[in-house]
Amino acid sequence: MVTKTRSDQPIKLIRNASNVNSWKVPELGFSSAPSFHHPAEEEEQASNEEVVAEVSEEELAEIRETARQEGLKIGRDEGLKIAQEEVTNQLTMLNLVMGKLAEPLKECKDQTQQQLLELAFAIARQIVRRELRQDPTQIIAVIREALKLLPAGAEGIVISLHPEDANKVTSALSIDPSNQTDNWQIKSDPAVERGSCQVDTHNSKIDASIDKQIAVLFSRIVGGERAGESTDE
């Protein structure tokens, strides 16, 4: 007896295929194109990328530092310039203020000096007058100082004195008023102040009044002080 295998059995045709689905090949997750991996090349590429990244960071840091230093320098220079301008402006204003303050102080100083000089002048004149009253013969010293100012060989000398001083002088020098020569003589003049003396010649005139004598004395004193101040400076 011959046994028929399954394949020997007749194939039955399916006539009703409306409920039958077609079979598809399942997807296995592989791409149609073949893929080849090279680990050595991937490591080298990663290493190169790291080097490039490191160099870029260093360069970036250097650029940032350079920019920061330049910014600081520019800021410092601008700050110094502004500060210098401000200091210059302040000094200018200070000089103006000091100048304004110095003007009244200078005027006050000049006025004070002038007032002190006038006061000293008045005191000196009173002292001289008192000394002449106590010792009228001191007028002789005044006459001698005035005569020293005359040029050599002066002729026609006329010494004008206050009447009281004239009497004192002629008495002290034993001069006879009526026996005076034309070359020189003592003349009484009420217009001349006590203690003063006026000497006239044909060519010159000497004012030896008390005020004039004191003025000369004070000019010497003040001039000496100013010369001393200039030397100290």
Neighbours of 102 (CB within 10 A): 11
Q: How confident is the model at residue 30 (pLDDT cuts 50, 70, 90)?
A: very low
- Please calculate the CA angle 22-27-31 and round it to the nearest 5 degrees: 135
Asked if residue 232 has pLDDT above 60, the reply is: no
Q: How confident is the model at residue 41 (pLDDT cuts 50, 70, 90)?
A: low
Position with higher pLDDT, 157 vs 78: 157
Neighbours of 202 (CB within 10 A): 9
Asked if residue 50 has pLDDT above 70, the reply is: no
DSSP annotation of 155: -
Dump the DSSP string for 179-199.
Answer: G--SSEEEEE-TTSPTT-EEE
pTM for the whole structure: 0.43
Residue-level pLDDT at 227: 45
Q: How confident is the model at residue 196 (pLDDT cuts 50, 70, 90)?
A: confident
Residue-level pLDDT at 231: 44
Average pLDDT over all residues of the chain: 70
136-232 folds as hypothetical protein PF0899 fold (3.30.2320)
Q: Which of 9-18, 82-91, 188-197 has the lowest mean pLDDT?
A: 9-18
Average pLDDT of the segment spanning 116-129: 74
The CA distance from 141 to 123, in Å, is 20
Q: How confident is the model at residue 216 (pLDDT cuts 50, 70, 90)?
A: confident
CA-atom Rg of the chain in angstroms: 64
The CA distance from 221 to 126, in Å, is 19
Q: How confident is the model at residue 72 (pLDDT cuts 50, 70, 90)?
A: confident
- Please calculate the CA angle 162-163-168 and round it to the nearest 5 degrees: 95
Residue-level pLDDT at 185: 85
> 163, 208, 202: which is closest to 186 by C-alpha?
163
Residue-level pLDDT at 18: 54
